[in-house]
Every structure is written in C-alpha cells, then in structure tokens.
Amino acid sequence: MEKAEQEKLALALFEMISKKREEIKMLTSEIMELENNPKNVVRIKQNVQRILNAVASFSSDSNDLEIVKLSAELVFLKIQMSTDENDRHVDPQYWHGLIVHELEDFCVNANSWNPVKSDFAKSSKIIINFPKTLNIASIVNYLKGKT
C-alpha cells in the first residue's frame, strides 16, 4: 500500500475513533441525566452496553478496554444486587448508595478511553491500538462516503 493510501486510512481511522468518542460522550451525558431515578434502569443498562460495544469495537489488548469492561460489570452487578426478588424493580433505597456512584465512575472511565497513544520520548510517533480484527472494508466504505 502506498504512503498516500496509508495516510488516508489513518486519517479515516482517526475520524472514526473521534466519532466513537463523541458517541460515548453523548451516551454518558444521558446516563448522568437519568442516574437519579431508578425507573430509568433499563435505559441506563442499554447505554452502558452501547458504550461497552463502542469501546470494544476499537480496542485490542488495551488496558482501557479492560477498565471500561470491569466498570460496566460492576454497574450491572450492583443493579442486580439492588433489584427485588421478582427482578422487576430496583429498590430506590439502594439506588443512590450502590449505583449512582458506580455509574459516575463508569462514565469517567468510558470518557477517558482513547486507543490513540503518543510516544514522543523516543521519537515522534502516534500509536493506535488496533483491534485484532480490523475491518478495513468499513474504513474504505467510510472514505468512499466522504467523497
């Protein structure tokens, strides 16, 4: 692949990552708006799952992915712990003490995710932690849609 094509792919990848980060910011903002009412538990769980999927789609062996994943697992575990026996309603008595703090930690971890790392100590280079299976076709289609 020639240098111009590599640069186009890299720029497209940066832009796709940027859009994923914007999506994560939007979803975490929505979680923060919904977090004070236990009746929003389904929507919150959906947003947590969507964030986890967005991070996983652009991460490989990244520690960031592991942190977001563990944080999401804690959110789901605490929601399950505070749900009544019939698995229908979250007990409001436990909601603020157990879940709100965990949701805020999750949102901070999700927003700090960034697969683009820079290493300027040794040389000027930017490192992208690619997923093990990167769908080049989606990047090429993305580029075609921009022209």
**pLDDT for 76-127, tens place per residue?**
999 888 887 666 677 788 788 889 999 999 999 999 988 776 656 666 555 5
2: in domain: no
Report pLDDT for 146. Answer: 60
pLDDT digits (tens, 9 = 90+) for 37-64: 989 999 999 999 999 999 888 776 568 7
82: in domain: yes
70: in domain: yes
Domain of 71? 19-146
Q: Indicate the pLDDT class of residue 135, thresholds 50, 70 and 90.
A: low
40: in domain: yes
The three-point CA angle 133-142-47 to 5° equals 70
12: in domain: no
Total number of domains in the chain: 1
Q: In whole angstroms, give the CA distance from residue 59 to residue 72.
A: 16
Report pLDDT for 32. Answer: 96
Give the least confident one: 20-29, 92-101, 123-132.
123-132
